[in-house]
């Protein structure tokens, strides 16, 4: 990884953060939500969930609750969660990814966001 390569630092659950090259770990699924009522630009709270995937099959599933453009009350603690999902036989582990997305969404208080994030993954050929 060169020093000019854009990276992202991701807080993880139960371990130290990871720093990853955005080019080597592209986003393969995402979910976003904000609190009602109104428009996103008025939201007090936003939720984001991301799934990044490396060419070797590893995935990083992470998310957070954060302050929206409308602001939050002083003292609000916004939760986050992140998990590394190991590949199985060199391919992404879809079952473990589903579990990680569900755990992240539960931790950040956005269970409804799991269905949108999972629906954004590449479809399975049957």
The residues with which 46 forms a beta bridge, in sequence order, are: 34, 66
Summarize pLDDT for 48-92 with one digit per residue, the tens. Answer: 999 999 999 999 999 999 888 788 888 888 999 999 999 999 999
What size, in residues, is the chain?
Answer: 126
CB atoms within 10 A of CB 43: 21
The residues with which 10 forms a beta bridge, in sequence order, are: 18
Nearest to 82 by CA among 16, 7, 24: 16
pLDDT attached to residue 37: 66
Summarize pLDDT for 28-40 with one digit per residue, the tens. Answer: 999 999 887 678 8
pLDDT confidence bin for 124, thresholds 50/70/90? confident
Q: What is the Cα Rg of the chain in Å?
A: 15
pLDDT confidence bin for 3, thresholds 50/70/90? low
């Amino acid at each position: 990884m060169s020093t000019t390569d854009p990276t992202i630092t991701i807080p993880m659950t139960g371990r130290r953060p990871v720093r990853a090259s955005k080019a080597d770990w592209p986003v393969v699924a995402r979910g976003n939500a904000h609190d009602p009522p109104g428009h996103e630009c008025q939201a007090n709270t936003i939720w984001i969930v991301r799934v990044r995937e490396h060419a070797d099959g590893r995935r990083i599933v992470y998310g957070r609750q954060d302050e929206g453009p409308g602001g939050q009350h002083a003292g609000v603690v916004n939760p986050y969660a992140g998990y590394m999902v190991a590949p199985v036989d060199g391919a992404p582990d879809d079952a473990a990814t589903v579990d990680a997305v569900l755990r992240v969404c539960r931790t950040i208080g956005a269970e409804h966001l799991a269905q949108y994030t999972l629906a954004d993954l590449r479809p399975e050929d049957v």
